[in-house]
Amino acid sequence: MEEPPHRADQAGRAESGERIAAAALELRDVTFTYRDAERPALRGVSLIVPPEQSLIIMGAGGAGKSTLCRLANGLIPHFQKGQLKGEVRVFGRDSRAHPVHELARQVGLVFQDFESQLFSTSVELEAAFGPENLGRPRAEIGERIAEALELTGLTGMERRAPATLSGGEKQRVAIASVLACRPRLLVLDEPTTDLDPEGKRQVLGIARRLREQAPGAAPTVMMVEHETEEAIQFARAMVMREGEVAYDGPTRELLAQPRFMEEHGIRPQPAAALFAKLGEEARPIEDTEALSQLAALGYRLDARRWEELAANDARRARYGDVTIEVRSLSHDYDGLPALEGVDLAIREGEFVAILGQNGSGKTTLVKHFNGLMLPRRGEVRVGGAETRRQTAVELSREVGYVFQNPDHQIFAETVRDEVGFGPRNFGLPTDEIERRVTDSLAAVGLEGYEEGDPFSLTKGERQRVAVASALATRPRALILDEPTTGLDYRQNRGMMELLRRLNEGGHTIIIVTHAMWVAAEYAHRAVVLSRGRVLLDGPMREAMGRLDLLAQAHLAPPQAVRLGAALGGVTLSVEELARRLVKQGHT
Amino acid sequence: MQASVYLDRGTFFHRLDPRAKLAGLVAFFVIALAFNHPGYAAGAWAAVLVAGAASRSLINLWRMRGLLGLLFVFAAVLWPFFAKGPTPLLHLGPISASRESLLYGLAVGLRLSAMVAAGMVFMSTTMVEEFAHGLRRLGLPYAVSFALAAAVRLVPTFLGSSAAVVEAQKSRGLDLESGHLFARLRKHIPVLVPVLVTAIRSTDLTAMALESKGFGAHHQRSYYLELRMRIADWVWVALALGGAGAAVYARLHGWGEVLPRL
């Protein structure tokens, strides 16, 4: 039985026994309702963030995390209008009484969408922008730029154009431009959500570096973050739910409550979840603790249960004929090789995960499956016919492609028109189109949404509409590029369960993903790309067992896999690991 | 994807103050327009090529050869039939072309494309922020010059999202190639709408990001980029004014003329 969630009163007090310095951020019974909204985004929230603390804020989408961030620098209520009750103080000053540009001297805010935050043509000028607005003298601006670029690891890239940088680098430039203002409070609203693992590492590294600065120099850091496995580096954690604070206290204690986290739409820490499933009291967080606890309690992997898992694997591996075939595929961009001699065959009914870091060629590969790209050398066959001999339009009937950002395709006035777009393009009769729309919406769990406005749906719903649109073309295979990026844990699970259901119903599913735990738990087969070549291609269990090759491809296996590997077996999820562990002396 | 036009090459042209370069560009336009003899227009092109080579920006001119070629061909083919000259050569029904108007057409094609190419050399050697700063020092309000610079910065982002939208819709069977003109235009709606919506959404975010970095503070703003007119810049401006003046003078005295018109 888990402990009920608790609020830590002590979390707000400064550690020294001296006079308490003005809190970096203080909210007193704050309720905020956006203009034109039915429900308040924040409800009676009170909190105190002392200077130099670092705090992680977690919670499902729509919980009020972004609202909280925007209260911190005055964007609410000055820029985003609404009804604000209660008091918000930033280093002692009432945010209502000070315009945003004044609060900007003390508070920096970094947003999730890095593209929209950058508007200069060089990294240097981007970093100069903030101090320029603050009227700092030229020489000082130069110093601030150098300092900010050093903190974000961008020294030497002053003259680079942000448009030529990777997502992670762009976000770092955005952070640098905020750090150049020397804020005493740095607020980051989901800075890593749209980034690949490398980008996430870089940004979280910045947070670490900031904390390591001398006392007095380190800013207070508040970060909204979904990556549970990174939470431990923050001393204090807050969980929000439907506008209220559901938890506020030490991070370790939160991570020790996997069920609580799951109920609040956050991915539980795998090690803690494992111990909960085993029925043990302990709640280790990191690999080393978990392994030593398992050893101390006498757990080992049971060989017999391994046979059960193997049988399961075999049962689900009943696939049909080859539906997509790739032979010696090579592709390049203006002479820069993207794919080299790739061979691949995907059968009907498979669930394949294409893995690899940014630049490995994953997206280039799958764009060959629906004719968006044609091979420079080698061939790609869909349903036996070469893609070279067909147009992308023709291939769209065979292979459906769901892009990472559903907002890049939603355009219609009703969900019906949106989902029916594909069939309409094929010139199908109206009643057939209607039937497909209904079926596709049912398949994604959006029955009855036909008349709705696609633009007003939540991100998760829009993603499902995008999947439904692809399903309506009744393709033989469905490709999804990063189906879970930008979704919170709950939406993530929802999407993956949907894909599992579709696959069990006979659809061939191909996902390109960075989320290793998602791939491990759901996909049957892994194709790992590195620098344009296939490094590994086989059943997921085999692939996750090759830690050496995964490391070569710069991929980090999820914790459940790492723990299993340390114990001598390949386990693809916390469930599996829990099922395979037995205590010494038991059978 | 080509992200920006600016090429960071550090040549003499790059080091010139943007205001001086602007004066030079305007003067070049005046000189090009002053004459309508193809030989003179070819001379203008030669000057552009030299500038392009000296500023190491010929690659950008090569990249826009399609546009430049199109400009030239359109002008050279159409103008002969619209300009009237004394020595008739061709007749196509009611319209006719003369020897002079053929030469005129060539000249217009050359000088138009040379002007566009000169503009490209300017953009290849001038950072957008420098250009915006130059305009500001010449009197343009900061907000306007900032908007200009931000717009140019956003072009690659906009193009990138347009490309992504086109791919997404193609994957759903949108055929942008077939059909007559109006049908094809209508088919672009599924591309236009997501692009515009995405642009509007990101405008909102950009405004918030701007505010969050202190944009709009009432007191004096400082500037990191420093613009100073040096001797070289003044010399350049003098040459520009001199050149423009000389060209106008020459034309008024009958030089470089094939037809008595602009």
CB A236 within 8 A of CB A228: no
The model's pTM: 0.86
Q: Do A120 and B149 touch (CB under 8 A)?
A: yes
Quick one: pLDDT at residue A344? 95
B129/A122 Cβ within 8 A: yes
* A106 close contact with B: CB closer than 8 A: no
Whether residue B1 has pLDDT greater than 90: no
Tell me the domain boundaries of chain A.
Answer: 269-301+560-587, 314-559
**Sequence-separated (6 or more) residues with CB below 8 Å from residue A383:** A323, A398, A476
Residue in B closest to A140 by C-alpha: B224
The residue in chain A having the minimum alpha-carbon distance to the alpha carbon of residue B210 is: A117
Domain boundaries, chain B: 12-126+228-252, 140-212
Q: How far apart are CA A378 and CA A269, in angstroms?
A: 44
B44 interface with A at CB cutoff 8 Å: no
Q: What confidence score (pLDDT) does residue B89 get?
A: 80
Tokens 């699970």 found at: A493
User: What secondary structure does DSSP assign to A155-166, as a single string?
Assistant: TT-TT--GGGS-
The rounded distance, in Å, linking the Cα atoms of B242 and B245 is: 5
- Helix B38-54 / helix B99-125 crossing angle, nearest 10 deg: 20
> A233: helix, coil or strand?
helix
- Give the full edge-to-edge strand order of the sheet including A107-110: A107-110, A185-189, A220-224, A54-58, A236-241, A244-250
Q: Are strands A351-355 and A244-250 parallel, antiparallel or unpaired?
A: unpaired
**Rounded to an integer, what distance in angstroms lies between the CA atom of residue A484 and that of residue A404?**
8
Indicate if the pLDDT at residue A98 is higher than 70: yes
pLDDT, mean over chain A: 90
Q: A391's torsion region: left (phi>0), alpha (psi -120 to 50) or beta?
A: beta
Range name among A263-267, A505-509, A542-546, B158-162 with the lowest pLDDT average: B158-162
A67 C-beta neighbours (distance < 10 Å), count: 24
The model's confidence at residue A586, banded by pLDDT at 50, 70 and 90, is low
CB atoms B214 and A403 under 8 Å: no
Q: How far apart are CA B24 and CA B118, in angstroms?
A: 10
| Chain B CA closest to residue A78 | B211
pLDDT tens-digit series, residues A436-491: 999 999 989 899 899 999 988 888 889 999 999 999 999 989 999 999 887 889 88
Q: Do B198 and A132 touch (CB under 8 A)?
A: no
Q: Which region, left, alpha or beta, applies to residue B254 given φ > 0 means left and ψ of -120 to 50 means alpha?
A: left
| A132:B161 CB<8 A | no
The beta-carbon neighbor of A421 closest among B152, B190, B222 is B190
One-letter amino acid for residue A250 of the chain: P
What pLDDT, on a 0 to 100 scale, did the predictor assign at position B218? 62
Q: How far apart are CA A59 and CA A243, in angstroms?
A: 10
Say yes or no to pLDDT of A530 above 60.
Answer: yes
In a 3-state reduction of DSSP, which class is residue A176? Answer: helix
- Tell me the pairing of strands A82-90 and A299-301: unpaired
Tracing tokens 């111990």 back to the chain, one arrives at A275
User: Quick one: closest CA in B to A179, which residue?
Assistant: B213
pLDDT at A15 over 70: no
CB < 8 Å to A75, chain B: 208, 211-212
Residues 6+ positions from A268 with CB-CB distance below 8 Å: A228, A258, A259, A261, A262
Instruction: Compute CA distances A303 → A271, A309, A316, whole Å.
Output: 21, 10, 21
Both tokens of B51, joined, read 């500038």
- Contact at CB, B197 and A104, closer than 8 angstroms: no
Residue B200 at interface with chain A, using a CB cutoff of 8 Å: no
Any A CB within 8 A of B162 CB: no
pLDDT value at A18 more than 90? no
Whether residue A5 is preceded by a cis peptide bond, meaning omega within 30 degrees of 0, is no
Rounded to whole angstroms, how far apart are CA atoms A343 and A327?
A: 5
* A187: nearest CA partner in chain B: B212
Residue B85 is predicted with a pLDDT of 80
| Contacts of B230 by beta carbon, 8 Å cutoff, 6+ apart | B17
**CA dihedral sign, ordered A556, A557, A563, A568:** negative
What CA–CA distances, in Å, run from B83 to A222, A485, B36, B86?
Answer: 70, 61, 12, 10
pLDDT at A227 over 90: no
B183 and chain A in contact, CB less than 8 A? no
User: Within a 10 A sphere around the Cβ of A537, how many other Cβ atoms?
Assistant: 18
Question: What is the mean pLDDT of the segment spanning A386-391?
Answer: 91
**Predicted pLDDT at A3:** 44
Average pLDDT of the segment spanning A175-196: 92
DSSP 8-state code for residue A19:
P
- The shortest C-alpha distance from A278 to chain B (Å) reads 45
At residue A227's C-alpha, the angle toward residues A226 and A230, to 5°, is 135
Q: pLDDT-based confidence at A168, cuts 50/70/90?
A: confident
Q: Which of 138-157 (B) contact A at CB < 8 A?
A: 149-150, 152-154, 156-157
| Arithmetic mean of pLDDT, A149-158 | 93
The confidence score (pLDDT) of residue A162 equals: 87
A452 three-class SS: coil
Report H helices in B83-212: 99-125, 128-137, 142-170, 181-186, 189-212
Does B46 have pLDDT greater than 60? yes
Cβ distance A159 to B8 less than 8 Å, yes or no, reads yes
Q: Scanning the structure block, which residue is given the tokens 């059978």?
A: A587
CA–CA separation, B169 and A422 (whole Å): 9
The one-letter code for the residue type at A586 is H
Pick from A43-47, A299-303, A499-503, B52-56: least confident: A299-303
A396 phi, psi to nearest 5 deg = -65, -15
Of B4, B172, B212, the CB nearest to A396: B172
pLDDT above 80 for A378: yes
Tokens standing for residue A560: 């459940």
Share of chain B above pLDDT 90, in %: 46
N-terminal to C-terminal alpha carbon distance within chain A: 26
How far A554 CA lies from chain B's nearest CA (Å)? 25
Percent of chain A past pLDDT 90, that is, above it, reads 68
C-alpha to C-alpha distance for A320 and A346, rounded to whole angstroms: 9
pLDDT digits (tens, 9 = 90+) for B225-259: 888 899 999 999 999 999 999 999 999 998 888 88
Cβ–Cβ of B175/A393 closer than 8 Å? Answer: yes
**Please, what is the average pLDDT of chain B?**
88
Tell me the C-alpha to C-alpha distance, in Å, between residue A331 and each of A30, A339, A362, B183: 56, 5, 12, 34
Give yes or no for residue A13 having a pLDDT over 80: no
Answer whether A425 sits within 8 Å of B175, measured CB to CB: yes
Q: DSSP string covering A121-154, please?
A: SSHHHHHHHHHHHTT--HHHHHHHHHHHHHHTT-
Q: Are A116 and A171 in contact (CB under 8 A)?
A: no
The alpha-carbon gap from B221 to the nearest alpha carbon of chain A, in Å, equals 5
Q: Give CA–CA dist A457/A419, Å, rounded.
A: 14
Q: Which residues of A touch B220 (CB under 8 A)?
A: 135
State mean pLDDT over B6-18.
89
Give the per-residue pLDDT at A458: 84
Tell me whether residues A116 and B202 touch, CB distance under 8 A: yes
More confident residue, A175 or B86: A175
Chain A residue numbers touching B169 (CB-CB < 8 A): 409, 421
Per the listing, tokens 């749906």 go with A457
Distance CA B39, CA A159 (A): 41
| B201 CA: distance to closest CA in chain A (Å) | 9
Does residue B153 register a pLDDT over 90?
no
* ipTM of the complex, rounded to two decimals: 0.82
What is the architecture, at CATH level 2, of domain A314-559? 3-Layer(aba) Sandwich (3.40)
What local confidence, expressed as pLDDT, does residue A17 receive? 37
**Residue range A236-279, pLDDT digits in tens:** 999 999 999 999 999 999 999 999 999 999 999 999 999 999 99
